Structure 1
Amino acid sequence: MTTVSFEFFPPKSLPASFRLWDTIRTLAPLDPSFVSVTYGAGGTTRELTHEAVTTIGKHYGLEVAAHLTCVDASREETLAIARSYADAGVRQLVALRGDPSDASTGFRPHPEGFADSCELVSALAEAGDFEIRVGAYPDPHPDAAHDGADVEWLKRKIDAGATSAITQFFFEPETFFRFRDACVAAGIDAPILPGILPIENWAGTARFAARCGAHVPEWVPRAFETAERDGSADVLATALCTDLCTELLEGGVEHLHFYTLNKPFLTRDVVHALGLAPPAALENVA
């Protein structure tokens, strides 16, 4: 059975709050196996993330995975947040190194914090009965020291106690399949969930891809340039995302994780096009 999950980010303003809750109301009927809530760069939305996680679980009955990072917090502060999630009934965490608030300085561990995501995973595994998901990078992470480093890091995180991984987004199915094969060859047997980014705005997606090191095939910007000129960018985005997901499913993928950017409709349309929406969800579409 194919399952889906969705990522949201916590709101920083009243209009953003309305957008988040509208997004959840739109996507909840698709019966996700879980949803996740991010941190801002540098841990800037730590309290907002906690509030969003607990509210989503309480009011929408969804299984929520809370992001935790190593940025700008001591070990005790981070583990205290994890304990507060456990007290609230949250049993899924996404453990990441995290991005610094100032990208120009690169990642620098807190003097009393975790040095990297492996240390964080190990401490969380010892701290409680959590399902711990981690990040994975089909295209080389900007900080990767050499070819194959991302597979090695993922193996270390799984060995430290992580139970599954969610990948950074990518544009072509072969990128994921090559990475999956390399992980299997390295002895990684934990589930690897492909991260899917429906392209709501090509300019923003291109900037995001440049920051995280995702390879952009030459045909993608050309296709969106033409589609935007013709007023058909949404049609192109839906078709490309649906085709990507279809090839992943045909290649044996059993779960799709969508980065929604708190914009629900393209994600909803793709899930519908894939035939993964429950009948009740189809009845509620205007």
Structure 2
Amino acid sequence: MATPDISIEFFPPKTPEGAEKLRTARQQLATLNPKYFSVTFGAGGSTQQGTLSTVLDIQAEGFQGAPHLSCVGATRDSIRAILRELHAHGIRRIVALRGDLPSGYGGAGELRYASDLVEFIRLETGDWFHIEVAAYPEMHPQARSPQDDLQNFARKVQAGANAAITQYFYNPDAYFQFLDNAARMGVDVPVVAGIMPITNYTQLMRFSEMCGAEIPRWIRLKLASFGDDSASIKAFGLDVVSSLCERLLAGGAPGLHFYSMNQAAATTAICRRLQGA
């Protein structure tokens, strides 16, 4: 199989030790020649400076960095200031999200939805930024219905998004059905498949509960059967996720976006298997 287009996501490290570990992981992942590295953005901007400094580290190493930008709890002025700073640093790609309200926040802010944020970015900066938005093959956990969720996605694209990255999933049919449904609504931007490597059963279940990602029953039962046998969990996870990626690429997925959790081993193993290495 030809080498697929990949991108890799990090979260901003909170300590100098975390930053050093991420730097090491990034050097290993760089051998996969990713299109870009993205960096998440905390609720209400709680890691805004960490996001920017991590992106600048990535740019200094010769790679494209894409900061996440969320609008929840933000003002137009605060978003405008961030956009100016990103522009001044020569950053050309943004992952634009609504984001989740942190505890203690009273309101949603001046830009309520990701579509509002995308529209604002375009009004302020024209075509300077390549804008990625989120897509949910298994429906956003707060959406009222699959149709509402699709309409929300369409609004983000109509507001000026260039492409989308999906929430992670393990059922490829959900992804292909989502693409078909979006196409019927006239939405035809590239939708890159979000991929979560499986390395830890408890962590995976916790994340999936929070974000509404479905873990198929057969995968859950198999992972549970391994107990604390982390080597078996990782080996099974490698097989499952590599097979998922192969099917997605064979079906025409334009790329894969790996949620790395700031680790290199699992993403590297999956990509090497896809490359036949």
Q: Shorter-chain TM-score: what band? A: over 0.9
Gaps of 5+ in 1: 277-281
Q: Secondary structure at the match of 1:93?
A: strand
1: CA distance, partners of 2:210 / 2:220: 16
Residue of 119, 127, 133 corresponding to 2:124 = 127
Q: CA RMSD in A?
A: 1.6
Asked if residue 238 in structure 1 is aligned to residue 238 in structure 2, the reply is yes
What TM-score, normalized to structure 2?
Answer: 0.94
Percent identical residues: 36
Q: Which residue of structure 2 lines up, in the alignment, with residue 62 of structure 1? A: 63
The answer on whether the counterparts of 1:96 and 1:135 sit within 8 Å (CA) in structure 2 is yes
Asked if residue 33 in structure 1 is aligned to residue 35 in structure 2, the reply is yes
Q: 1:17 to 1:222 in 2, by over 3 A?
A: same
The answer on whether the counterparts of 1:7 and 1:37 sit within 8 Å (CA) in structure 2 is yes
Q: 1:37 to 1:152 in 2, by over 3 A?
A: same
The answer on whether the counterparts of 1:37 and 1:67 sit within 8 Å (CA) in structure 2 is yes
Deviation, structure 1 residue 217: 1.2
1: CA distance, partners of 2:89 / 2:98: 24
Q: Which residue of structure 1 lines up, in the alignment, with residue 100 of structure 2? A: 99
Q: Which residue of structure 2 lines up, in the alignment, with residue 261 of structure 1? A: 261
Q: 1:108 to 1:136 in 2, by over 3 A?
A: farther
What TM-score, normalized to structure 1?
Answer: 0.91
Asked if residue 114 in structure 1 is aligned to residue 111 in structure 2, the reply is yes
Q: Which amino acid aligns with 1:48?
A: G
Q: Secondary structure at the match of 2:192?
A: strand
2: CA distance, partners of 1:88 / 1:147: 38
Q: Secondary structure at the match of 2:180?
A: helix
2: CA distance, partners of 1:156 / 1:24: 34
Q: Which residue of structure 2 lines up, in the alignment, with residue 53 of structure 1? A: 55
Number of residues of Structure 1 aligned to a counterpart in Structure 2: 272
The answer on whether the counterparts of 1:99 and 1:107 sit within 8 Å (CA) in structure 2 is no
Deviation, structure 1 residue 229: 5.1
Gaps of 5+ in 2: none
The equivalences for 1:215-226 within 5 A come to: 215-226=214-225
The answer on whether the counterparts of 1:6 and 1:35 sit within 8 Å (CA) in structure 2 is yes
Q: Which residue of structure 1 lines up, in the alignment, with residue 13 of structure 2? A: 11
Deviation, structure 1 residue 73: 2.1
2: CA distance, partners of 1:69 / 1:194: 20
2: CA distance, partners of 1:207 / 1:99: 17
Deviation, structure 1 residue 154: 0.9
Q: Which residue of structure 1 lines up, in the alignment, with residue 74 of structure 2? A: 73
The answer on whether the counterparts of 2:69 and 2:95 sit within 8 Å (CA) in structure 1 is yes
Q: Secondary structure at the match of 1:232?
A: helix
Q: Which amino acid aligns with 1:243?
A: S
Q: Which amino acid aligns with 1:261?
A: M
